[in-house]
Amino acid sequence: MELNADNVEHVSYLGTGTWLLLIPVAFILLFQWRDAPTTHNGLPLINAKGRFEFIDLLAKKRFITNAQDLLKAGLKKVHRLIEHLKASAFNIITENGIMMVLDPKYAEEIRNSKTLSLRKTLIEDMHVNVPGFEQQMQALEDDEIFQTTLKTKLTRNLAEDLNEVLSQEATVALQEHWTDNHEWHEIPLSRTMLKIIAQLSSRVFLGDKICHNPKWLRISVDYSIDLFQATFELRIYPRFLRPFASKFQPSCRRLRADIREAKSIIEPVIEERRKAKARAKQEGRDPERYDDTIEWLEDVANGRQYNPVSAQLLLSSAAVHTSSDMLTQVLYDLNGREELIEALRDEIRLVFKNGWERSSLAKLRLMDSVLKESQRLKPISSVSMRRMAEAPVTLSDGTIIPKDCKIIVPCLRHWDEKYYPDPDTFIPDRFLKLRQEPGYEHTAAFQNSSPDHLGFGLGRHACPGRFFAANEIKLALCHILMKYEFKVVGKRPETIVFGTMLAADPNGVLAIRRREGEEHIRL
């Protein structure tokens, strides 16, 4: 998720409607402690309130501005006190209440736990009782249909026709947003990348008509921004006031407007397809088939009730910003590394010399390593494996996770020299070499995870769309490298840090031009 100054008001801004709520705001804040969960696990609280702080507000602010250092300090402290604590875990006040932070060494142990619930965490954190947020609850109710569609239909079709469809759409999207201009010209990288990835993702999710609908493309970019901002802003208020506050928050109103417009675009298409199938059945002929998630969700549901608009909004919010942020960061990392860029082009030439094969993208091993290294240095979040205990959980060393306790696992091994020599340096072939070592062939691949690299999560709740994301990013990067020259304008953009969120600088500018004497490679 990116905080783009051109698209989003600052997250701490309160719109004019909320002035109605500012009169009792001091009273509200005094009672915020009632809304914060307490912990009874006996572990140290790493960022406790100061001596004269009566509420958690300043502790939450310190977490938002300094989360990564607090996480490092917490692990360092518990490692020092391990003999006394008997656990490598601690508590931390986050913008969303107190959470228990587990050392990454526990990641393998909890990865498939059915008692540690992602669903309960989302219900707790996403204001599902507030108008405009019902879509999140509906998406959770339809989770089995959604997950099956991603893990079977979407992933399976990547090996068949979808990669060529994505490649064709990449050509169209780049011509539109990066142009065919052979002269150097400047573009806002993050903004154009969002539009390109939105178009590519929508081609697979919603078909060739909707993916070119400017209203839908706006929603596919703005919905995630509005959802993030509305979710964050409502946390200012105690839970009992949030439904009322949402009526006045501009971000909440925008969120509800996004949903209404999405329904007006998606529901007529689904209704038209259902009627066409019914007519075909009456006439004794096979209905027309579509290679998109609208069709696959219908297949998996098989008559069961589900909310297709919720599913599409969830797909969009999960895919567009994460993939565009990843690709933006990769281009920042490639900037000025001309030898590496040429090596990547050589690899593309070799793999695609005879056109498309099912295994083509899997053969781009240097590119795969570059992507994983970029994600290692800047994942989308500095924590992973957010869960909530539905019952007490006792780990193998006796560490107890109490019922209703929220947990997170920090991604600190990403930057730890014990696991990655010279951890602060971008080493493009780091994972290419690692894959050649026994036992690492699988885990060192971009789309796979381990406790040492939590870019896509881990275990039963690892990102179900990671195979699609990996293919989409690789395809887009192939087109960019073979068709364009590029360089960052000005100094290298810095990572934007907001709590645990790590975002590629949304204000970076890229100078680009279409390559001269371009090779004709069938991508």
State how far the Cα of 480 lies from the Cα of 280, in Å rounded to an integer: 42
- E strand residue ranges, 96-209: 97-102, 116-117, 185-188
Q: How many CB atoms lie within 10 A of CB 269?
A: 18
Burial class (CB within 10 angstroms; exposed 0-12, middle 13-18, buried 19+) of 51: exposed
Three-state SS for 464-501 is CCHHHHHHHHHHHHHHHHHHEEEEECCCCCCCEEECCE
363-387 burial, b at 16+ Cβ within 10 Å, e below that, comes to ebbbbbbbbbbbbbbbbbbbbbbbb
Residue 407 to residues 180, 278, 363, 379, Cα–Cα distance (Å): 49, 48, 37, 19
Whole-Å CA distances, 365 to 74, 393, 463, 472, 474: 36, 40, 21, 15, 11
463 assigned to a ligand binding site? yes
Q: Write the CA distances from 306 to 1, 204, 227, integer angstroms.
A: 27, 20, 21
- Helix, strand and coil content of the chain, in percent to the nearest 5, comes to 55, 10, 35
Binding residues: 463
Binding residues for heme: 463
